[in-house]
Amino acid sequence: MKVNLDRYNLFFKKDIIDIYHSWININKPLYIKYYNLIGLMIMSMLIPLDYILYENNYIFFTQFRIIYISIILLNLLYIQINQKRLFEKKKIYRLNINLLLPALLYNIIYISYLYNISDNYYTLVLLANFITIIVTIMFAAKFWKEQYAISTISLVIIFFSSIYKGKYIDGFYLTVFHLISFVSAYFFRRSFILSMYERYYHTASLVPKNVAKHIAMTDGVIELDKIFKPTKRFTVCLSSDWRNYQELASTKDPKYIEELFQNFYNYVFEELDRVMPEGNYYADWTADELFIIFFDEENNENNIIKNALTFSHVYAEKIFNKINANIDSKLMYDIGMASGVGLLGLQGPEKLKKTTITGESAGTAKRLETEAKNLRNDVNAALPILIVDERLYECTQDLNLFNQGFREIIAITKDIKNKNFYLWLNNDFKKNDKQLEIEL
């Protein structure tokens, strides 16, 4: 029977928007100064060209240029005085007048030139308008609100100027070129955002999501091992493994298994992003094995543990129920979790580095997952088994998630043998309490 699961993307549309808005937040300060300085420089260089190109030297050309230069200088002064407020990161992307002004004024000036020039210089000024439109629109293309504002305001001015001057053919030419530039800018911006997203998507397989986002927003011109170099951090490690995977793989078509993997891990990453939208985790999977490292940029241990335990509960209940409700076979897995300080970062051979942790917690988490597997052989558990270390167990007392409580166990698995850990049994284990007490 074919697997009937909803299709989810590993990274959602919201991630693309978040990356794009984060790029705007980081790069807007640079572009504000850059656009104003470029506009100022080009306009200053055009003043002597007026005397070369126009034999009668249309004086209003130079006057308009001087007005433009004065406004941009005042704008730069305003930016310099208020840069702390202007350059602070915003949660919502808003139109920025300081970024809009240089390109918009260029369009307004050249529209006025076209509607006031004599027939002798009409072709030259019309060509100058075309160049102005394409350059200003494409310069602002990465900032969609500013680009839309330039096009919209310019078209409104063109419309009313054409009616006032009675030069409808001029308005038609400028409108057509604005529309062409608008569409070109749209596809350029779309290509830019998708390219940034793809960089993020592929880098996220090497480093945590938040680090991958930073790399994507800096155009990838960055040394990975310097960005996420191995550092001692407090982490929580989660290890999980499907039960009877070999039996499932031998009885089901490979396409069925592939779709099962895809949808299972889509659910996992969907919930990871919901619990930790800032991306302070690194998840790696190989076939039926899942390994997750939870950390925090500020190394806030309580926050790390809270996020890890919250996800573990979702993983043991919500994801389990969701995946099993949509397949025609029973998928079972167990979970081991351990905390501690380890060396987290990009590690391994020079040409094949990946994010990993060097420390006791990673090995302990794997051993606890094996302990759960051994326990499952003795207890007829209907839901995933979760085993945690003492530090995590103590923190569960502050969370209203694990209602049935934990039971203390003495491990029998190698490397953790005879040590005390804590096992969580969900609602469906009530019917097995007596048998469990005998086994423990």
CA angle, residues 370, 373, 378, in degrees to nearest 5: 135
Q: Look-up: residue for tokens 């619990």?
A: 275
Whether this model's pTM surpasses 0.95: no
* Contact present, 143 and 28 (Cβ < 8 Å): yes
pLDDT higher at 164 or 14: 164
As a whole number of angstroms, the distance between CA 16 and CA 110 comes to 36
What is the per-residue pLDDT for 3?
35
- Residue 390, pLDDT > 50, answer yes
Higher pLDDT, 263 or 214: 263
Strands (E), 221-326: 231-242, 281-286, 289-294
Q: Is the pLDDT of residue 351 over 60?
A: no
Going by pLDDT thresholds of 50, 70 and 90, the confidence category of residue 73 is: very high
Give me the DSSP letters along 409-420. Answer: EE--STTSTT-E
Residue 17 pLDDT class (50, 70, 90 cuts): confident
Q: CA 119 → CA 4, 114, 285, distances in Å?
A: 70, 10, 70
In terms of pLDDT, which residue wins out, 379 or 75?
75
**pLDDT-wise least confident of 35-49, 223-237, 385-399:** 223-237
- Per-residue pLDDT of 203-229, as tens digits, reads 666 666 666 666 666 654 455 555 666
Looking at residue 9, its pLDDT comes to: 44
DSSP 298: T
Report the C-alpha gap between 327 and 396 in whole angstroms: 32
Q: How sure is the predictor about 136, in pLDDT bands with cuts at 50, 70 and 90?
A: very high
The residues, ordered by sequence, that sit 6+ positions from 10 with a Cβ below 8 Å of its Cβ are 201, 265, 266, 269
CATH node for 221-439: 3.30.70.1230
- Non-local (6+) Cβ contacts of 165 within 8 A are 115
55: pLDDT strictly greater than 70:
no
**Residue 33 clears pLDDT 50, i.e. is over it:** yes
Amino acid letter, residue 354: K
**pLDDT of 424:** 80
3-state secondary structure of 335: strand
Model confidence at 131: pLDDT above 70: yes
pLDDT value of residue 133: 92
Average pLDDT of every residue of the chain: 78
Q: Is 385 helix (H, G, I), strand (E, B) or coil?
A: coil
Q: What is the per-residue pLDDT for 320?
A: 82
Instruction: Give the span between the Cα atoms of 149 and 406, in whole angstroms.
Output: 59
Residue 134: is its pLDDT beyond 90?
yes
Instruction: Please give the residue that has the higher pLDDT: either 130 or 301.
Output: 130
- pLDDT > 70 fraction of the chain, expressed in percent and rounded: 79
The top-scoring range by mean pLDDT among 176-190, 306-320, 392-406 is 176-190
- Three-state SS at 291: strand
Question: Lowest-pLDDT range, 87-91, 148-152, 351-355?
Answer: 351-355
Q: Which range, of 31-35, 160-164, 249-253, averages the lowest pLDDT?
A: 249-253
Is 90 exceeded by the pLDDT of residue 92?
A: no
CATH 3.30.70.1230 domain position(s) in the chain: 221-439
Which segment, 2-6, 33-37, 216-220, 244-248, is predicted with the most confidence on average? Answer: 33-37
As beta bridge partners, residue 357 has 344
The DSSP letter of residue 317 is: I
